[in-house]
Chains A and B, each alone.
Chain A
Amino acid sequence: MQRGKGMKFVGDSRVKANGRMVNQPKDYSEYPGKTEAFWPDFLLKEWMVGAVFLIGYLLLTVAHPSPLEGPADPTNASYIPLPDWYFLFLYQLLKYTYASGPYNIIGAIIIPGLAIGALILMPFLDKGPERRPSKRPIPTALMVLAVAAMFYLTWESVVNHDWEAAKAQGAITDKHLGLLPDVEIDETAPGYEIYQAQASCVGCHGGDLAGAGGPMLLGNELTAEEVAEVIVNGRGGMPAGAFQGTDEELQQLAEFIASLKEAE
Chain B
Amino acid sequence: MLNKIYDWVDERLDITPIWRDIADHEVPEHVNPAHHFSAFVYCFGGLTFFVTVIQILSGMFLTMYYVPDVENAWKSVYYLQNEVAFGEIVRGMHHWGASLVIVMMFLHTLRVFFTGSYKKPRELNWIVGVLIFCVMLGLGFTGYLLPWDMKALFATKVGLEIAGSVPFLGDLIKILLAGDAEIIGAQTLTRFFAIHVFFLPAALFALLAAHFIMIRRQGISGPL
Contacts and interface: CB of A to CB of B under 8 A. Distances in A.
Interface of A: 3-5, 7, 9, 17, 23-29, 31, 33-39, 42-43, 45-46, 49-50, 53-54, 57-58, 60-62, 64-74, 76, 79-87, 90-91, 94, 104-105, 108-109, 116, 119-120, 122-124, 126-133, 136, 139-140, 143, 147, 169-170, 172, 176-177
B91 A66 contact: yes
Contacts of A116: 130, 134
Q: 5 nearest interchain CB pairs? A: A131-B116, A33-B29, A66-B95, A81-B154, A123-B123
A180 B107 CA distance: 47
Nearest to B152: A72
Contacts of B99: 84-86
B194 interface: no
A36 B93 CA distance: 33
Given A5-B10, A170-B151, A35 B92 contact: no
Given A23-B217, A80-B154, A123-B120, 5 more contacts: A4-B14, A61-B95, A122-B126, A170-B151, A177-B78
Contacts of B32: 34, 36, 42, 45
A71 B17 contact: no
Contact of B10 (A4, A33, A80, A119): A4
A132 B224 contact: yes
Contact of A28 (B26, B150, B167): B26
Nearest to A20: B217
Contacts of A124: 123
Given A3-B14, A66-B92, A123-B126, A31 B113 contact: no
A81 B150 CA distance: 8
Contact of B28 (A33, A54, A81, A123): A33
Interface string B99-128: 110100000001001111111111100110
